[in-house]
Structure 1
Amino acid sequence: MKAIESRRSSVHFGSLATVCLLAAGFAASTGSAAAAESALLPQDAPHYRAGDNWTYQWSDLLSRTSRTTTQTVTSVHADGSASLQIGPGGRQLELTPEANVIPNGAAPNACGIALHFPLRAGTHYEADCQAVGAAGATVLRRAQCEVEGVEEIKTRAGSFTAIRIRMKGVWTPQSGAGGGPMEETLWYAPSAKRVVREEFQGRMGGKGVPATTATELVRYAVKP
């Protein structure tokens, strides 16, 4: 009987030790996540430098088409905004002080509305912008944005500790019928000074298969 009790005791203590190790591992994981969040949030707007550059790959998951573009800062303005050149000798587009791209002839599909600094966990705000849709019509996007927190994300450019922003809203054409719900998630990485991944879904009238696109950073080079 004593031998049996001894074995039971050892099993009991072994189980307790396993539980303690699991609890310690969970606490360490939770602590590291909290530390990462406190280190990044709140986050102020980036400071651009001439020569900073980013190469992105845009993909349409339905048509399985993609394209890659490189954006390089050619000049930085007094308000913190910057002029970007697309590719070597390409056209110019503007980057706001809050890292949002302003749609123009060089980037008519751009609709940078989701970043509003300083970024703080749990912050909610409304944002809207106009862009040119796939059919060439002007489209208005209006969404509620939420800064959800910090997350580790892997991209073709490497792994980043990024701030995740979620958007939910609607898109509507400026003329004619159409429109529907949209959702978008962005990951902004302070070390890259830009959004490093973006996922978008939009439905026509809330029905059918959603248009799904993703934009991901492929490579970058930025100055402190």
Structure 2
Amino acid sequence: MSRWIVALLALLLLGGAQAAERTRGTAVTEERIALVIGNAAYRTDPLDNPVNDARLIATSLKQSGFAVALHENLDRRALIEALRDFGTRLGENTIAVLYYAGHGLQLRDRNYLIPVDAEIRSEDEIPIAGLDLGFILGRMSAARSRINIVILDACRNNPFAGKSGAKAQGLAQMDAPIGTLLAYATAPGKLAADGSGANSLYAAHLARHLLTPGLPVEHVFKRVREGVVRETREQQVPWESSSLQGEFAFVPGVAATREAAAEVDAAGELAFWNSIQASTRADEYRAYLRQYPNGRFAALAQTRLAAFTVPTPTPPPAATAQAGATRSDALPRVGDTWRYRVQDQFRIGDLFLTAKVDAVTAEGIAESWTTTSDAKLRTTLVSLEPGFHALPGWTLTPPEFSPYLLAAGGLKAGQAIPEQPRRVEQAVVPLRGRVEGEEEVVVAAGRFKAVKLVLRGRSTARGGSVSSEHVIWYSPQVKRTVKYTVATHVGNALRESTSFELVEFRLNP
């Protein structure tokens, strides 16, 4: 046996042992549950489409893997029971969806679902006759479900307006609890059409787009907004308020091409902005910035928001520089979240990944990972020492190289990184790293000054050569990787061409 084969086997064993040691964690498949309610047979002003809409959405959710409880024409007692039963099924390993079609009312910035037996004669009777949406939001928050989606197709006309004296129309803007996305069929305070066909426009578009493989949930609702706005000629503009902290797609898989997604985002963003551009409410501009942090109107939204916000004193430059010099500032904090778009030349479309810090320990950074490719929640421990890190049960993307390398110490131009073996097909490629200095990099999340690290290596196996290059940009402002590209050749053939790009991030103070 030749010496190069012996060396190759040794490297394979070394690479496998290191990968096994660094891939500590779990992958848990979460249960998907949904409650779908359609209320149409009201004593006052019955509606045509909510039951049809509920059946349509229930069918789509079942097709996307949800265990669905469908209820129609609930009186107050039955509505309470349905929501109570739904609440008892919630837990940390559930992904929960509530869809409600029917009448809904707002009173003093609170929203109420109206049962079919309601008879409201005065404004004060709304809390008694209806059911406060805060009831189920509280249950969701207490259950600590990772993903909660509440869809309110309930902004139709107020049939009790003449009797109750309630002047506000539509539903009130609400902040979504952590881990929750609140979706409205139309903008807060506005009315949505019940629809002239078998279904409302909102339900029809929602049922279609939620079945798109790999489409992130935020993009689902952006596509719904674009379709509804187009067909109603901007008379109805669906809205969302989101505090989701992970990735989720109704149908796991790979998203549509980046170009197609960009077109949908642009149309949805324009419709959203047109619906709030004359607003005098700070929360509406915050809602826009949450969904489009780098949108074309972001600067204008920040300017208008500043008029409602008391400015925070800026620390003196000396204090800022001193704080930035400490290593502890380079460490992430619990709750810090980063979202990446992954593109691969050999995969059609985009993949989205989100990493969130669960704990900072002496052994490393404990993270939770979610993706749009499946319904699994992955937990892992990332060492601060240089090395490749693979997620448990994950092979769709190359393993990350030391995402928190800045926290291990300052990186200086010319600095060498210890040799890092990485397995590629049947060979282990020894990669040698070098810090090339600072560089300005532009990604979807913004423009950053970053430290650029390049890893290169070549190996030979079965008479052929394997070469690989990893280029990583680290930003102190982000405390993690901003951009990462991988290119691997076997002989003259390109076998890997993958890029990771930071889309958005949120750091705890």
Q: TM-score range by the shorter chain?
A: 0.5 to 0.7
User: Which deviates further from its counterpart, 51-60 or 104-113?
Assistant: 104-113
Query: Within 5 Å, which residues of 2 pair with 1:181-200?
Result: 181-200=467-486
User: Which deviates further from its counterpart, 176-185 or 58-67?
Assistant: 176-185
One-letter amino acid of the structure 1 residue matched with residue 380 of structure 2 = L
* Aligned with 1:93 (options 365, 380, 383): 380
- Return closer, same or farther for 1:215/1:178 CA change in 2, 3 Å cut-off: farther
**C-alpha distance in structure 2 between counterparts of 1:103 and 1:58, whole Å:** 15
Map of 1:170 onto structure 2: 458
- Return closer, same or farther for 1:213/1:191 CA change in 2, 3 Å cut-off: same
Residue 105 (structure 1) shift = 1.5
One-letter amino acid of the structure 2 residue matched with residue 213 of structure 1 = T
* Aligned with 2:488 (options 194, 197, 202): 202
Residue 90 (structure 1) shift = 0.8
One-letter amino acid of the structure 2 residue matched with residue 58 of structure 1 = V
Instruction: Tell me, yes or no, if the aligned pair for 1:44 and 1:119 is still in contact at 8 Å.
Output: no
- Return closer, same or farther for 1:172/1:66 CA change in 2, 3 Å cut-off: farther
**C-alpha distance in structure 1 between counterparts of 2:459 and 2:381, whole Å:** 23
Map of 1:122 onto structure 2: 414
Map of 1:219 onto structure 2: 504
The structure that is helix-richer by fraction is: 2
Residue 127 (structure 1) shift = 2.9
Secondary structure of the residue aligned to 2:401 is: coil
**C-alpha distance in structure 1 between counterparts of 2:432 and 2:474, whole Å:** 17
**Bigger RCO (CA 8 Å, 6+ sep):** 1
Task: Give the TM-score normalised by the residue count of structure 2.
Answer: 0.31
State the number of aligned residues.
177
Q: Which has the larger radius of gyration?
A: 2
Query: Within 5 Å, which residues of 2 pair with 1:31-42?
Result: none
Residue segments in structure 1 that go unaligned for 5+ positions in a row: 1-38
Instruction: Tell me, yes or no, if the aligned pair for 1:155 and 1:197 is still in contact at 8 Å.
Output: yes
The structure that is strand-richer by fraction is: 1
**C-alpha distance in structure 2 between counterparts of 1:126 and 1:96, whole Å:** 15
The answer to whether the aligner puts 1:112 opposite 2:406 as a matched pair is: no
Which deviations, in whole Å up to 9, do the C-alpha atoms of 1:194-219 show, x marking residues without a partner? Answer: 110011110013x1235211111111
Which deviations, in whole Å up to 9, do the C-alpha atoms of 1:48-95 show, x marking residues without a partner? Answer: 21101111111102434421011111111134x111111397111222
The answer to whether the aligner puts 1:152 opposite 2:440 as a matched pair is: yes
* Aligned with 1:82 (options 350, 365, 369): 365
Instruction: Tell me, yes or no, if the aligned pair for 2:367 and 2:379 is still in contact at 8 Å.
Output: yes
* Aligned with 1:59 (options 323, 333, 343): 343
Map of 1:68 onto structure 2: 352
- Return closer, same or farther for 1:153/1:77 CA change in 2, 3 Å cut-off: same
Instruction: Tell me, yes or no, if the aligned pair for 1:49 and 1:75 is still in contact at 8 Å.
Output: yes
Instruction: Tell me, yes or no, if the aligned pair for 2:386 and 2:417 is still in contact at 8 Å.
Output: no
Query: Within 5 Å, which residues of 2 pair with 1:15-30?
Result: none
- Return closer, same or farther for 1:95/1:130 CA change in 2, 3 Å cut-off: same
Map of 2:212 onto structure 1: none
- Return closer, same or farther for 1:74/1:210 CA change in 2, 3 Å cut-off: same
Instruction: Tell me, yes or no, if the aligned pair for 1:182 and 1:202 is still in contact at 8 Å.
Output: yes
**C-alpha distance in structure 2 between counterparts of 1:178 and 1:113, whole Å:** 29
One-letter amino acid of the structure 2 residue matched with residue 61 of structure 1 = Q
Map of 2:318 onto structure 1: none
Across the aligned residues of Structure 1 and Structure 2, the Cα RMSD in angstroms comes to: 3.2
- Return closer, same or farther for 1:187/1:44 CA change in 2, 3 Å cut-off: farther
Instruction: Tell me, yes or no, if the aligned pair for 1:93 and 1:106 is still in contact at 8 Å.
Output: no
One-letter amino acid of the structure 2 residue matched with residue 85 of structure 1 = S
**C-alpha distance in structure 2 between counterparts of 1:196 and 1:90, whole Å:** 22
Which deviations, in whole Å up to 9, do the C-alpha atoms of 1:131-169 show, x marking residues without a partner? Answer: 6x6xxx686342111111111111111111101111111
Secondary structure of the residue aligned to 2:377 is: coil
Map of 2:224 onto structure 1: none
Secondary structure of the residue aligned to 1:90 is: strand
Map of 1:142 onto structure 2: 430
**C-alpha distance in structure 1 between counterparts of 2:400 and 2:489, whole Å:** 17
Residue segments in structure 2 that go unaligned for 5+ positions in a row: 1-321
**C-alpha distance in structure 1 between counterparts of 2:448 and 2:386, whole Å:** 17
**C-alpha distance in structure 1 between counterparts of 2:386 and 2:478, whole Å:** 11
Secondary structure of the residue aligned to 1:68 is: strand
**C-alpha distance in structure 2 between counterparts of 1:113 and 1:140, whole Å:** 18
